[in-house]
Homo-oligomer: A and B are copies of this chain.
Amino acid sequence: MVERYALEPLKSLWTLKAQYERWLEVELAVVEAYEEFGIAPKGTAQKIRERAQIDVDDILRTEAVVDHDVIAFVKSVTKNMGDEARFFHYGLTSSDVVDTATSLALKSATEEILCSCKSLANVLYEKAIRYKDLPTIGRTHGVHAEPTSFGLKFLSWYAELLRDIERLERAKEEISVGKLSGAVGNYANIDPKIERRALEKLGLKPTPVATQVIPRDYIAHLLSVFALIAGLIERIAIEIRHLQRTEVLEAMEPFKEGQRGSSAMPHKKNPILCERLTGMARLMRSYAQVAFENMALWHERDISHSSAERYILPDATMTIYYMLEKTRYLIESLKVFEEKVRNNLDLTKGLIYSQRILLALVDKGMSREEAYTLVQSIALECWESGESFRERVMQNEKVKTLLTREELETLFEPSYYLRNVDAIYERFKHDPKSENQKGN
- Whether B280 pairs with A140 at a CB distance below 8 angstroms is no
Cross-interface CB contact of A156 among B215, B256, B260, B344, cutoff 8 Å: B215
- Whether A302 pairs with B275 at a CB distance below 8 angstroms is yes
Q: Is A20 an interface residue (CB 8 A)?
A: no
Q: Is A42 an interface residue (CB 8 A)?
A: no
Tell me the smallest distance from the CB of A372 to a CB of chain B, in Å: 6
Tell me the smallest distance from the CB of A370 to a CB of chain B, in Å: 11
Q: A263-B70, A303-B270 are in contact. Are A211 and B146 (CB under 8 A)?
A: no
Q: Is A115 an interface residue (CB 8 A)?
A: no
Cross-interface CB contact of A141 among B75, B227, B301, cutoff 8 Å: B301
Q: A93-B263, A145-B212, A238-B298 are in contact. Are A187 and B420 (CB under 8 A)?
A: yes
Q: Which residues of B sit under 8 angstroms from A439, Cβ to Cβ? A: 177, 205-208
Q: Is A407 an interface residue (CB 8 A)?
A: no
Interface 1/0s, chain A 87-104, versus B by CB < 8 A? 001111110000000000
Q: A93-B262, A234-B296 are in contact. Are A140 and B275 (CB under 8 A)?
A: no
* Minimal Cβ-Cβ distance residue in B for A368: B86
Q: Which residues of B sit under 8 angstroms from A212, Cβ to Cβ? A: 138, 140, 145
Most-contacted residue by chain B among A68, A174, A389 (CB, 10 A)? A68
Interface set, chain A 293-338, CB cutoff 8 A to B: 293-312, 315, 319
Number of copies: 4
- Whether B186 pairs with A267 at a CB distance below 8 angstroms is no
- Whether A143 pairs with B184 at a CB distance below 8 angstroms is no
Q: Is A188 an interface residue (CB 8 A)?
A: yes
Cross-interface CB contact of A146 among B75, B183, B217, cutoff 8 Å: B183
Q: Which residues of B sit under 8 angstroms from A227, Cβ to Cβ? A: 220, 224, 292
- Whether A159 pairs with B359 at a CB distance below 8 angstroms is no
- Whether B306 pairs with A420 at a CB distance below 8 angstroms is no
Tell me the smallest distance from the CB of A333 to a CB of chain B, in Å: 13
Cross-interface CB contact of A283 among B206, B269, B270, B308, cutoff 8 Å: B308
- Whether B279 pairs with A182 at a CB distance below 8 angstroms is no
User: What is the size category of the interface that chain A forms with chain B?
Assistant: 35 or more
Cross-interface CB contact of A267 among B290, B300, B348, cutoff 8 Å: B348
Q: A232-B295, A308-B282 are in contact. Are A268 and B186 (CB under 8 A)?
A: no
Q: Is A163 an interface residue (CB 8 A)?
A: yes
Question: Bound state CA distance, A241 and B139, in angstroms?
Answer: 12
Q: Is A287 an interface residue (CB 8 A)?
A: yes
Question: Bound state CA distance, A75 and B373, in angstroms?
Answer: 13
Q: Is A148 an interface residue (CB 8 A)?
A: yes
Q: Is A432 an interface residue (CB 8 A)?
A: no
Question: Bound state CA distance, A289 and B428, in angstroms?
Answer: 31
Cross-interface CB contact of A355 among B4, B264, B315, cutoff 8 Å: B264
Q: Which residues of B sit under 8 angstroms from A367, Cβ to Cβ? A: 85-86
- Whether A186 pairs with B424 at a CB distance below 8 angstroms is yes
Q: Which residues of B sit under 8 angstroms from A218, Cβ to Cβ? A: 163
- Whether B242 pairs with A142 at a CB distance below 8 angstroms is yes
> What are the 9 tightest A-B residue pairs by CB atom distance, in nearest-first order?
A266-B376, A138-B184, A231-B295, A267-B379, A141-B270, A187-B420, A286-B286, A139-B299, A279-B308
Q: A143-B271, A160-B209 are in contact. List 15 more A-B contacts (CB 8 A).
A: A90-B359, A138-B211, A140-B268, A143-B268, A155-B209, A186-B421, A192-B420, A217-B228, A237-B296, A239-B299, A242-B298, A266-B372, A266-B380, A267-B383, A279-B304
11 A-B Cβ contacts within 8 A?
A67-B272, A86-B362, A140-B299, A141-B241, A160-B215, A163-B221, A217-B231, A275-B306, A280-B308, A283-B307, A293-B293
